[in-house]
Amino acid sequence: MQPYKTTADFGTAYYEIQKSKFYTYTAHVEDEAAAREFVQSIKKKHFDARHNCSAWILGTDSSQQKSNDDGEPGGTAGNPILESIKQHGLTNVVVVVTRYFGGIKLGAGGLIRAYNHSASLGLEATPQVEVKPFCRVAATMDYTLLGTVENWVRNNSIRSEETEYTDKVTVKLLIEPQDVEKIQGELVDLTAGKCSITVADPEYLEVPA
């Protein structure tokens, strides 16, 4: 399980050059069906536009990639949008750039730059998150040890979830898989072995980018 970056929400941007108007829309998507649905929604919104060009990257390994020039000369729109997503290091994201032609031809190079720049503006305007694998580590102990463990958690800036209080107390931590063994050892040392530790399988969780 590798960490990856993605968008957390929707984003929009506007760019104008040589009287051509470019409207950019971005969205977080988890699969191709959602990406296609988003592209269609923008095409419906801008039904009067000559071009609604798009690209998306999907998968934790960024293995699913697609672009569409939507009537622009081959390679001048969809691919520059796709390259912008790559330049931002993102996956599970779709970008649509709508163009209203202003009567002045931009040329192939101009189109490539305009679509790439428009996509970048949209992505920069979109909140981003990092998605990383974490193991949920639960340490159950007597209440007399809680203060010591809480100080250790705070001083080491360890991510944690809400503590559970029953006849004993369970401190719940979010630990990256490569750090689990180290954290377990520190907890055992800290409590002189007087805590019960369980470790769940890794799962993806969002953290601020």
Q: Is the pLDDT of residue 149 over 90?
A: yes
| 63 or 103, greater pLDDT | 63
**Residue 1's pLDDT band (cuts 50, 70, 90):** confident
DSSP state of 119: H
* Mean predicted confidence (pLDDT) in 74-93: 97
Cα–Cα–Cα angle for 126, 131, 137, nearest 5°?
A: 145
Q: Domain limits of the chain?
A: 4-126, 130-208
- % of residues, the chain, pLDDT over 70: 100
Q: Is the pTM of this model over 0.85?
A: no
CA distances from 156 to 152, 159, 162, 199 (A): 6, 9, 17, 19
Pick the CATH number of 4-126 from 3.20.20.20, 3.40.50.150, 1.10.645.10, 3.30.230.30: 3.30.230.30
**Residue 33's pLDDT band (cuts 50, 70, 90):** very high
Note the pLDDT of residue 18.
Answer: 94
**Residue 145's pLDDT band (cuts 50, 70, 90):** very high
Query: What's 130-208's CATH class?
Result: alpha beta
DSSP state of 76: S
